Amino acid sequence: MGHDDIKDYGVTEGAPERRGRSSRVIVFVVVVLVFVGLALWGIESRRSVRASLNSSGKSAATTPVAVVHALPSGSSGEILLPGNIQAYLETPIYARTNGYLKKWYFDIGAHVKEGQLLAEIETPEIDQELRQSEAAELQAQANLDLAKSTADRWVELLKSDGVSQQEVDQNVSAYKARQADLQAARANVDRLKDLQSFKKVTAPFSGIVTTRSVDVGALIQNGNSAQLFRMAQTNVLRIYVSVPQAYSRSMVAGVPADLEIPEFPHRTFPGKVVRTAGAIDPTSRTLLTEVQVPNPTGELLPGSYATVNFHLKFVEPPLAIPSNTLIFRAQGTQVAVVTQKGTVHLKSVTLGRDLGTSMEILSGIDSDDSIILNPPDSIGEGDVVNVTQNAPADSNSK
């Protein structure tokens, strides 16, 4: 074997080894590229999933809502308010003299006329004092007559200088003093006669006896320690109603009102507003209003509970919103309003009339508020919402 043959054999022997190393390098590079590709794919997948989750979270956090705006409820309408029926006149009757009840003539439920005798009182002490004062009057009259004749006599004696001027003045002054004594005695007689006249208890006005508190033989004392009778005039009744402040401007004299009483389920009794207190009660924020209702037959009884239906012409009609916008929670009645930032703001409201599908709101909202319809129970202050619909609102005009 020559030198050239040995050289060719060596080359032939080294080529497979080089080819093997190249193949391993290629395989290694391919494996590395596969791992890098898998890593990049995993990172991109996780980033895509994270972005999808973030988008879903933001979408879930934003609640789609429909909103509505409040509109005036109408220029006229009716409001039902509770009231208490009172007699047009009602007064207790007390004695103005001392004694014992001799007789009473009318019991509860009796209809009496003004000045009619209700009872008589025996007044033995007053009678005795009157007789004594009349005797004192006669005595004062006798003293006056004597003083007058004496004064006249001394005045005549002065003309002939039979007496001094001092003595005349003394007797004239004594005469004037007796005149004053007589006037005092007469005044005392008149006083006792007036007290004696109070032994006859009479009706101060025409009406019904609603209470009789004494019986025959009862001790009667001058003053208001013991009520004898109580009377009421019921041909016209007064009903006092506390009207919410929101309706105060519309509550004026002459407003028609119907009285509804549970005992008369299918009847109403017409009346009208005659006056108001002219000031809002700072405690209840209401206006005291008086309604008068004729009661010629006396079928309506004072002290009864009634509902008054006012027929109003509103100066500024209150706002009305659908009933399904209201939220009832421990904080009271509220509505959810969408702010300009797209968040929820809860407002407390004061309810007025129930108009069926809508409610009057006396205070708490404005006409430009975007109020959420059918708010979910979980809605809270500051929640992010997305307004998807502006629902129409009925004005509920009447």
Whether 8 has a pLDDT exceeding 70, the answer reads: no
The hierarchical CATH code for the domain 80-84+233-313 is 2.40.30.170
Q: Taken in order 319, 362, 352, 386, is the CA torsion positive or negative?
A: positive
| Backbone φ and ψ of 397, nearest 5° | -70, 145
Widest Cα–Cα separation across the chain: 215
Predicted confidence at residue 19, as pLDDT, reads 62
Distance separating alpha carbons of residues 121 and 163, to the nearest angstrom: 57
What percent of the chain is predicted at pLDDT more than 70? 88
User: What DSSP character marks residue 384?
Assistant: B
Mean per-residue pLDDT over the chain, rounded: 83
The first and second tokens of residue 349, run together, are: 């409201």
Q: Which whole number is the average pLDDT over 279-304?
A: 92
Q: Which whole number is the average pLDDT over 265-292?
A: 93
The fold adopted by the segment(s) 124-198 is Helix Hairpins (1.10.287)
Q: What is the pLDDT of residues 201-260, one digit of tens each?
A: 999 999 999 999 989 998 888 877 788 999 999 999 999 999 988 788 888 899 999 999
Whether 9 has a pLDDT exceeding 70, the answer reads: no
Lowest mean pLDDT: which of 40-44, 104-108, 181-185, 309-313?
Answer: 40-44
| Structural contact between residues 79 and 197, judged by C-beta atoms closer than 8 angstroms | no
| 72: β partners | 319
Predicted confidence at residue 15, as pLDDT, reads 59
- Give the pLDDT band of residue 395 (cuts 50, 70, 90): very low
Distance separating alpha carbons of residues 351 and 70, to the nearest angstrom: 13
Q: Domain spanning 64-72+318-390: which CATH class is it, in words?
A: mainly beta
- Give the pLDDT band of residue 49 (cuts 50, 70, 90): low
- Give the pLDDT band of residue 74 (cuts 50, 70, 90): low
- Give the pLDDT band of residue 76 (cuts 50, 70, 90): low
Q: What is the pLDDT of residues 383-393, one digit of tens each?
A: 888 888 776 65
Query: Is-above-0.75 flag for pTM?
Result: no
Predicted confidence at residue 292, as pLDDT, reads 95
| b/e 252-270 (16+ beta carbons within 10 angstroms → b) | eeebebbbebeeeeeeebe
Distance separating alpha carbons of residues 61 and 382, to the nearest angstrom: 12
User: What DSSP character marks residue 317?
Assistant: P
Q: How far is CA 265 from the centre of its chain?
A: 26
Task: Say whether 113 sits in a helix, a strand or coil.
Answer: coil
